[in-house]
Each structure stands twice: as structure tokens, then as C-alpha cells.
Amino acid sequence: MGSVSPAASPQTAGSSITDLVIQWASRHARLLAPFITLIALFAFFSWRTEVFLTTRNLQNVITQVAPIAVAATGVTFVLLCAEIDLSIASVATFSAMMAAWFWVGDPIHLGSWGILAGVLIGAGLGLINGIFIAYIGIPSFMMTLAMLTIAKGLTTYVNDGKPIFEEPDILRRISSAGNLFMGIPVIGIIAAIVLAIGHIILAYTRFGRHVYMTGGNREAAEMSGVDTKRVIMLVMTFCALTCGVAGMLLLGRVGQVGAESNPDLLINTIAAVVLGGTSLFGGEGGMLNTVLGLLIFAVLSNGLNLLPELSIYFKGALTGIILLAALLLNVVALRLENVQRRSD
């Protein structure tokens, strides 16, 4: 008679389930690591402060992070192509300056149409970035660093170095924390729409696939028929377009614009995108990662402001330390994911 295989022991079955859980977590580490970070921060600030979970505070969180979310949409495309854009804050500020300048009407008065003009001017600067990077061959780091200086200089030149303390009425209304739609700030709804458009493009269009292919392996993408130069040019233009929109939202929130406006937009935007797990080396990540990174950044910034025992002078350093810890967690998670992918 043939031998009968013994039934798996409880210990073996438990070990098998554990292995499956570990494998699943390793495969999804890119999303799992920032998600765990977000839950930990949310739980901590909910426990340490009484006002964190109040409706008014959560509305403020949405209002504060919305402009960064809009800019982060375009930056996600740039990083997925293994490029970088250091000019985003200057482009956003220059776009806002042009909109305010057209609104004031000295010497040209376009009214609310100045908003569209400002956004298109910002997109034009991104197009210049894209042409010089893709077709001339200037590295994106150097080209966008030059554009940062150009856009900042133009912002100073437009109004002789003086800030403009007026903004189009529509920007003030949509950017106000008190302007709600079903309890959600309108500025947050605008940011959500922009993020959704970015996700649809990346996940469901041919151009989105070409973005991933360009960032993952440019030579292989070109051999497959992808016009990588055109992809990079369009990505840089789209990034500047979203930064122009972000500049308008910031103008509406602050009510003024000058050459020194939005100093933290660059670092905040790139930090939020990378925190979510999108790779700086291209081809890995996406809009869902960006949303997680934005939530982490928003909860962290808001929560630290609510801690009464934290010195305001130490807040910046502590924010950087926590962001660094979160980034290290992401790096470890990504390495686990790559190891698991090779073993599969």
C-alpha cells in the first residue's frame, strides 16, 4: 500500500500564513510604508491634542495642503521620468504675480482673465524647460535651476520689486477656508480634481504608460517606439502648468504676491511626493503614492503646530527629522519590495 502524507501541522500552517503575509507586505511596501507612517502620525496627534480631530482644524489642513497638492501632481510626472524641476516655486510665484498685475491693470487690465493668462505664462516657462532639457540636452537640474533664477528675476521686474496686495475676487473666494461645499473647502475640491486628472492620465492613458517607460528605462522605451523627448517636454510643461494653478491658489489664500512669496513650496512639494514612495530615479510610484505623501506632510505640519509644549523655534528642525525618518522607512520598504520582486 502507498504511504499517506500526514496532514500539515498547525505550526506548518501558521508558518505558511506568516510567509504569505510577509510576501504580500513586501510586494506592496511602496504603499504600505507611507500608509503606516500616516496612521502613526494621525493616532499620535489625535491623542496628544484635543483640537486635531475637530472639523474646523481638518478643514484648515485641507486648505493648507491644497496648493501643494496641485503642484505635487505635476512634480510626480517629472520624478517618474527621472527628472527634477527646481523652478516650481519661482514659476508659481511669477504666474501669480502676472495674474495680480493684470488684475490691478497697470498698464494692462484683463480682470479675471488674467488668471488664465498667468497660468499659461507659467506653462510657457515649463515648455522652455522641456525644450532645453529634451532637445538641447541640458540636464534638468541645471536648466530648472537657471529657470528658477529667471522666473524670480522676472517677478521682481514686473512690479519694480514691490509686492502687489490685491488679487482677483474669484481667487479670494475659492481659496478661503470658510468657502465650503458639503463641508469641504472648495480649494480642497479643486486640488482633488487635479490629483484625479493626474491619476487618470498616469493609470489609463498611453501617455501615462510612456511616462513610466521613459523613467524606467529610456533606451528601452526609445527602442519600443516611444518619443521620450516629446514625453519629457510635455511633462515639464504640465508640471509648470500645475505650479501656475498652485500659485493662483496661494495668491487667493495670502492676498498678496511678491518676489519672496512661497519660499517653502519647492521643498514641501518634493518632500510630499517622495514621502509617498515615488522614486527619485524614475519609473516607480504614482498619484496614489503622492496622495499618501501629501497626507503625511499635512498631518505632520498641522499636528506640530498644535503641540503647546513644542518650541516654535525647534519646529522646523523636528519636522525635518521626522521627514527624514519617514524617508528612511520608505527606502527600507522599497528595498524589500525590490528583493521580493526579484525572488518572484
**pLDDT tens for the 344 residues of the chain, in order:** 445 455 555 555 556 777 666 666 666 666 777 888 889 989 999 998 888 999 999 999 999 999 999 999 999 999 999 999 999 999 999 999 999 999 987 677 888 899 999 999 999 999 999 999 999 999 999 999 999 999 999 999 998 889 999 888 899 889 887 788 788 999 999 999 999 999 999 999 999 999 999 999 999 999 999 999 999 999 999 999 999 999 999 999 998 998 888 888 998 999 899 888 888 888 888 999 999 999 999 998 899 888 877 777 787 787 778 778 777 776 776 677 666 666 66
Give the three-state DSSP class for 268: helix
Residue 165 lies in a domain: yes
Residue 67's closest CA among 225, 192, 157?
192
Residue 87's closest CA among 241, 316, 279, 250?
241
Residue 342 lies in a domain: no
Residue 191 lies in a domain: yes
Residue 319 lies in a domain: no
* Four-CA torsion 322, 325, 331, 333, nearest 10 degrees: -100
Residue 100 lies in a domain: yes
Residue 106 lies in a domain: yes
Residue 309 lies in a domain: no
DSSP 257: B
Residue 67 lies in a domain: yes
Print the domain residue range for 237.
52-263
Domains in the chain, number: 1
Q: Is the dihedral of CA 296, 69, 126, 98 positive or negative?
A: negative
* Four-CA torsion 46, 67, 78, 145, nearest 10 degrees: -110
